[in-house]
Chain A
Amino acid sequence: MSELKDAESAEISYDFDIHSPDIADTVYDVYAEMREKCPVAHSPRYGGHWVATKYDTIHEVLRNPGVFSSESVNVPGTIGQDGPMIPIEVDPPDHQIYRKLINPLFSPKRMADLEPRIREITNELIDEMLKHEKVDFIDAFARALPSKVFLALMGWDLGDSEKFNHWADTIVLGEPGADEERATEVRTAAAMEVYAYFAEMIDERADSGDAEDITQILINGRFEDRELTQFEVLNILFLFLIGGLHTVQGQLAHTVIYMAEHPEVRKQLVGDLSLVPTAVEEMLRWESAVCPARVVKEDYVLDGVQLKAGDKILIPFASANHDGDQFPDPDTVDLTRDPNPHIAFGAGNHRCVGSHLARLELRIAFEELHRRIPDYRLDPADPPVRHLSQVKGVLTLPLIIGESV
């Protein structure tokens, strides 16, 4: 039996910084090296934390919420929210009670009703894009679609979409180039504006009498034998904003970058749009943007490494989804890949509640984009700018319409 390793073991120490712009373009190589050398690694950053990079190990963490608590999913600990984010930072048994309330709001059947509206919004954005030879795909499409769809889902004013995007950007990214203190300051300020906006929506809808209205369902929601507090409703809405915009935006952008750079794969998709559902799953596997953390609640041995109560561990889903022990030929995109049990939406009890909505948005977007814009390419003189952070994304994506490489 080999000795247990721990936080002091030099061979598993790895200087990994999830917020470093320097590795935004190369993080998959970093993960590959970590899976090979130190699949449960200790990074000195942010006061010291663990990073697990194998699919099975991350699965073990996700399936064990008693040991691996979600009480704080960020590194460092806050993105400006007031109290734990509901339900993502709530553990069982309370977590289940919130999810019972929220699941039906995002059920596949409810989402299917939204399909025509999503298609309409998608095509309006494409109409606009087609008027130009070059667009910033982020501004022109990827940023706009999820916020408009979210506002449509809520029955709020689609005109507020730009405001929403600004808030979500600030909260998720802080202020580009600012130090940590300043970043926390701007995040907190944006979060306060979001809470104020939501409070206004709640007031407007408190007695709309519409049984299908999501705001109304939440206001009338119950936590066992009491009503939800306004604070809880605000926190739930806050998380929809944080969880539902950047993620879809990033996924759209990552896919378009890949398809722009790989015309043979894009042509395969353009030639057979029935591939879109498996293509969506494959691109989710290929670029899994989310990397949450868990807090270790009791001493635990994970893959031969001794974790201690109070430690924090990062679980990059992108790394799990490129693990060759789970996915044959993991670094190849195969639009027909099957099986593809990727965990881009997480796994275990915090499985993304918005996954049915996200999948629908991604499917419609890729159908309509590739039906109407079969050719597009990057501009070598003006390449996309990516950012890492716990929700990996793309800041700008200049795209030339109607040409292929």
Chain B
Amino acid sequence: MSETSTASVDREACKGHGRCYMTDPDVFDSDDDGFPIVIGAARTPAELAELDRAVNNCPERAITVVATP
């Protein structure tokens, strides 16, 4: 496993609740329609925990954590 993680959003499942960019604005931002754009990665344990929180708050279960390419 890589030490740097980022997010992959299933675009079919995602319905734009925005819980991800509210929870973890370092990894997610919103586009003009309120859908998420992945803008960053998580490295430190605190950042990784923050990313996990975003994953678990998504009501559509649309986010998976992936190793940064």
Contacts and interface: CB of A to CB of B under 8 A. Distances in A.
Interface in A89-112: 100, 103-104, 106-109
Contacts of A107: 30, 32-34
A109 B30 contact: yes
Interface in A72-120: 100, 103-104, 106-109
A351 B34 CA distance: 12
Interface string A279-290: 000000000000
A351 B33 contact: no
A343 B61 CA distance: 12
Q: How large is the interface on B (under 10, 10 to 19, 20 to 34, 35 or more residues)?
A: 10 to 19
B15 interface: yes
A356 B21 CA distance: 12
B57 A356 contact: no
A351 B17 CA distance: 7
A49 to B, nearest CB: 25
Nearest to A347: B59
B51 to A, nearest CB: 12
Interface stretch (A135-143, A252-260, A334-342, A365-373): A334-342
A348 B60 CA distance: 7
Q: How large is the interface on A (under 10, 10 to 19, 20 to 34, 35 or more residues)?
A: 20 to 34
A349 interface: yes
A345 interface: yes
Contacts of A338: 53, 56-57
Interface in B13-68: 15-19, 21-22, 30, 32-34, 53, 56-61
A341 B30 contact: no
A342 B32 contact: no
A106 B33 CA distance: 8
Given A107-B30, A107-B34, A351 B15 contact: yes
A341 B58 contact: yes
A104 B33 contact: yes
Contacts, number: 48
B58 A106 contact: no
A389 interface: no
Contacts of A292: none
A107 B33 CA distance: 5
Contacts of B59: 341-343, 347
A355 B59 CA distance: 13
A108, A340, A342 pick with most chain B CB within 10 angstroms: A108
Nearest to A105: B33
A341 B57 CA distance: 4
A277 interface: yes
Given A106-B34, A277-B22, A355 B17 contact: yes
Contact of A345 (B17, B22, B30, B53): B17
Pick the 4 closest A-B CB pairs, nearest first: A339-B56, A351-B15, A103-B33, A341-B59
Given A338-B57, A345-B17, 12 more contacts: A106-B34, A107-B30, A108-B18, A108-B30, A109-B30, A339-B57, A341-B19, A341-B56, A341-B57, A347-B15, A348-B15, A356-B34
Interface of A: 100, 103-104, 106-109, 277, 338-343, 345, 347-349, 351, 355-356
Interface of B: 15-19, 21-22, 30, 32-34, 53, 56-61
